[in-house]
Structure 1
Amino acid sequence: MHPSRLLLSILLLSTSAHAERMSWLEIDRIKLGVDLDHGGAITFLASAKDGANVINNFDLGRQVQLSFYSGPVPFEANGQKPAEHWRHIGWNPIQTGDDFKNASRILTHENDGRQIHLTCVPLQWPLNNVPGECTFDSWLELDGAVVKARARLTNTRSDTTQYPARLQELPAVYANGAFHRVVSYMNDKPFTADAMSAAPVPQGKHPWSFWTGTEGWAALLDEKDYGLGLITPGRVHFTGGFAGKPGPNDTHGNSTGYLAGQALEILDHNIAYEFRYELVLGTVQEIRARAATHRPQGSPSWSFTQDRQGWHYQNARDTGWPLKNHLHIQLEQDDPQFISPQTFWQAADAPYLIIDAAFHTKQKQGTVMWQQHGTQGYSSENKIAFPIIADDEFHRHVILLSSIPTYRGGMLRLRIDPVSGAEAGAWMKVRSIRLSARPE
């Protein structure tokens, strides 16, 4: 959850997340439980060896649960305004319930002994018993010491505004006070047995920090390198930390470790948005080995036939959901930017960038920028201009990134500035973007 949500929760008395209705999956190594009285959030995960629940259930802002963010900020509904300390949260339905201890409602639940599927109507965290105009679906199954999960947000919002992208929790994971060491792989040699790192020290008053975990995992560990790992296939952006004091494995204790996969996403009023994740209960070596099974093959590529693939905008917008074989981006604001999700690649493996796009504009060139591993944002040195074929037809725009001396080493993200300035009626349609070793 949002950092300030945790800071508020430490002022509350501990409340039990135990419910009368639970749904269980169990195999020889682990046991999983979801709470059907609280939106089907994961409230129990334990090794078969000791049966000790590692999931924190201090209040309804913990657990392992789905949580999404969009505008407006602040968000109001049914005449309610959020308290001042929640004004910055905006639109934020969460799976378990709300800050007023109201529980989200289950619509459907199926458990065949191999997989749990459930649908819930989440509640807006900062408001009192206000359902989100959306549903959450979760599919959960077990594989050894791994929980394999698929999740979906389906929006049916009456507010049809396309709000800017915001960071999402994919998902939010809270473990007990025994698991106070936050560990990930953050360097530029992923999947080579290079040394792991502790999470960065938080800056400011909040206990969470952000990092790039280039192997797609992070973990909350005890003193013996055992704990709960979060794997986010295809994603490398994380937030997390530890709040309170290291202590016992107490599911109702206030001290907690936190992890979340992160992505900047536009959540349209009618979107169906899916993601996958895995939870691993085991040693850090087991967590890391599982993550390696999701190692990306080849250089990053994105096809926009069905969704945005995690790309988002600054000073631009598109024609909305659902997509029709491509993105249609309006370029009528000054300095429009088209920004990739965080990922990782080696520049030497991908000297070319190939953009399959159509342009309608009087301007003659665009710019590509890149963010190097270990840096913040985009440097004025890390860019290259490319000519636009602006005849309203699709063309392959091939750009030799390696012609710029600074395109070297590990890379994290791309930014495409299709044009430099505002232009009435200008647009860009994009079918695909890919990094490649060859210009074909």
Structure 2
Amino acid sequence: MNCSKTGLLLLGLLGLGLSGCSTEPKAKLDHKFEFLNNGEICIGVDMNAGGAIAFLSTGSEEEQDNWVNIHDLGRYIQQCYYAGEEVDRREEGQHERFSPWKWNPIQAGSIGCTFDPPHPNAHSEVLEFKKEDTSLYLKCVPRLWDMPGETPECFFEQWIWLEGNSVRVRNKVTVNRTDDIWGDGELREQELPSIYPIARLRDGYTYTGKEPWTSDAVVKMPDNPEGYDVNIPPTQPGGFPWNRFDAAEHWMAYVNPKTGIGFGVYNPTATARWVCGFFQGGGAKGDGPYSDSNCFIGPLRWMKLEKNDTFEYEYYLILGTVEDVRGFAYEKQGKTLKLEDS
């Protein structure tokens, strides 16, 4: 989800990172990066946004080389969870675009980043941070997306390790809710995690066929589903901007059409249908990290989060070509990727 997102009600698939109606942040976000860099890959977390992953490149720490969209607090590469029933809390300050809404903590911060001035409690808070040469750990208190500055009764943890041209990430949420607002135990699609590549990495590839792990041909995903109309609200047929697909090999990559280089994600625990697409934003121009336009990958899994619960998972970010990303997935599966020219 992002500060330009509207809630997905279509087919009951609620809340998956949408960019349907653009809303510009009223002020540029104040970032504070902490980097890990092994010369092959550079990753940065934003200490002013709950430690969400805000930077990814092939070893450079220069802003123009960043492949992560950080237009607002709902972008980034970050943890995002859903639980409970949808509740109308507008009398308590809930944003009208996200009412009614479920319990929805996200790592970077809340919709309050779009206010003028921004809500003073919109940014999530880092509680602990430890960094070594090629790894880091952090713990944060997230924010509820729909409530401009409300802190949920949970905390997130994140471990990051650099491994060659890849990053291994472990995410964990610990829930200790005492409220009676949203109820308990609604089955929801979870984003594991929510990923926003920059618009410059326009071409998305994955494998959706019936013969996984056989080096069968990959597919280039369309920007949007057939029949998508940007003028239709995302709650209506034809307005949902993301493609739904079976990620049969549990990976997807977005790459620059000119160079064939970009990054991808591999997550074998994301067993539901994934979502992806390209959003042509109407706000900040360009195709870089601060542009309103962006790409999106949502590796999904159906799961309940109870009022007292913990959940953790791991995923990988891989830099390189589509073949590099797919080859990484094959290696993790103990398979050999056979290229056509080999």
Q: TM-score, normalised by structure 2?
A: 0.80
1:162 matched to 2:184? The reply is: yes
Alignment of 1:211-226 (within 5 A): 211-223=245-257, 224-226=259-261
1:195 matched to 2:217? The reply is: yes
Which of the residues 53, 56, 69 maps onto 2:69?
56
The answer for the alignment partner of 2:55 in structure 1 is 44
1:24 matched to 2:35? The reply is: yes
Q: Structure 2: which 5+ runs fail to align? A: 8-17, 114-121, 229-237, 336-342
Q: For the residues of structure 2 that align with 1:279 and 1:94, how far apart are their CA atoms?
A: 19
Specify whether residues 17 and 231 from structure 1 end up closer, same or farther in structure 2 by C-alpha distance, changes over 3 A only. Answer: farther
Q: What SS class does the counterpart of residue 131 from structure 1 fall into?
A: coil
The answer for the alignment partner of 2:128 in structure 1 is 108
Query: Over residues 97-135 of structure 1, what are the superposed CA-to-partner deviations in whole Å (9 max), with x where a residue is unaligned?
Result: 000121001111100122110000000011021001100
Q: For the residues of structure 2 that align with 1:49 and 1:292, how far apart are their CA atoms?
A: 27
Specify whether residues 206 and 296 from structure 1 end up closer, same or farther in structure 2 by C-alpha distance, changes over 3 A only. Answer: farther
Q: Which of the pair has more CA radius of gyration?
A: 1
The answer for the alignment partner of 1:84 in structure 2 is 96
Q: For the residues of structure 1 that align with 2:143 and 2:59, how far apart are their CA atoms?
A: 33
- Percentage of pairs with the same residue: 28
1:232 matched to 2:263? The reply is: no
Alignment of 1:119-134 (within 5 A): 119-134=139-154
1:243 matched to 2:279? The reply is: yes
Instruction: Return the letter of the residue paired with 1:262.
Output: L
Query: Over residues 238-290 of structure 1, what are the superposed CA-to-partner deviations in whole Å (9 max), with x where a residue is unaligned?
Result: 11110017x85511111100001101110011111001111112110100001
Which of the residues 228, 243, 247 maps onto 1:209?
243
Moved over 3 A (4+): 5-9, 13-18
Alignment of 1:233-272 (within 5 A): 233-236=268-271, 237-244=273-280, 249-272=287-310
Q: For the residues of structure 2 that align with 1:31 and 1:136, how far apart are their CA atoms?
A: 22
Give the structure, 1 or 2, with the largest relative contact order (CA under 8 Å, sep 6 or more): 2
Q: For the residues of structure 2 that align with 1:125 and 1:92, how far apart are their CA atoms?
A: 6
Contact 1:74 1:82 in 2 (8 A): no
The answer for the alignment partner of 1:171 in structure 2 is 193
Contact 1:226 1:282 in 2 (8 A): yes
Q: Number of paired residues? A: 295
Instruction: Return the letter of the residue paired with 2:290.
Output: H
Contact 2:20 2:241 in 1 (8 A): no
Q: What SS class does the counterpart of residue 4 from structure 1 fall into?
A: coil
The answer for the alignment partner of 1:288 in structure 2 is 326
Instruction: Return the letter of the residue paired with 2:239.
Output: K
Q: For the residues of structure 2 that align with 1:64 and 1:88, how far apart are their CA atoms?
A: 25
Instruction: Return the letter of the residue paired with 1:183.
Output: Y
Name whichever structure is richer in strand by fraction. Answer: 1
Specify whether residues 9 and 109 from structure 1 end up closer, same or farther in structure 2 by C-alpha distance, changes over 3 A only. Answer: farther
Instruction: Return the letter of the residue paired with 2:48.
Output: D
Q: TM-score, normalised by structure 1?
A: 0.63
Q: For the residues of structure 2 that align with 1:66 and 1:49, how far apart are their CA atoms?
A: 24
| Aligned-residue RMSD, C-alpha | 2.4
1:138 matched to 2:140? The reply is: no
Contact 2:286 2:293 in 1 (8 A): no
Contact 1:65 1:172 in 2 (8 A): yes
Q: For the residues of structure 1 that align with 2:83 and 2:27, how far apart are their CA atoms?
A: 28
Q: For the residues of structure 1 that align with 2:27 and 2:206, how far apart are their CA atoms?
A: 31
The answer for the alignment partner of 1:97 in structure 2 is 109
Q: What SS class does the counterpart of residue 84 from structure 2 fall into?
A: coil
TM-fit CA distance, 1:81 = 4.8
Q: For the residues of structure 1 that align with 2:206 and 2:297, how far apart are their CA atoms?
A: 11
Query: Over residues 196-248 of structure 1, what are the superposed CA-to-partner deviations in whole Å (9 max), with x where a residue is unaligned?
Result: 11336425212212111111101112213221201112334311110017x85
Q: Which moved more, 1:123-132 or 1:197-206?
A: 197-206
Q: What SS class does the counterpart of residue 301 from structure 2 fall into?
A: strand
Q: For the residues of structure 2 that align with 1:213 and 1:139, how far apart are their CA atoms?
A: 25
Query: Over residues 326-345 of structure 1, what are the superposed CA-to-partner deviations in whole Å (9 max), with x where a residue is unaligned?
Result: xxxxxxxxxxxxxxxxxxxx
1:278 matched to 2:298? The reply is: no
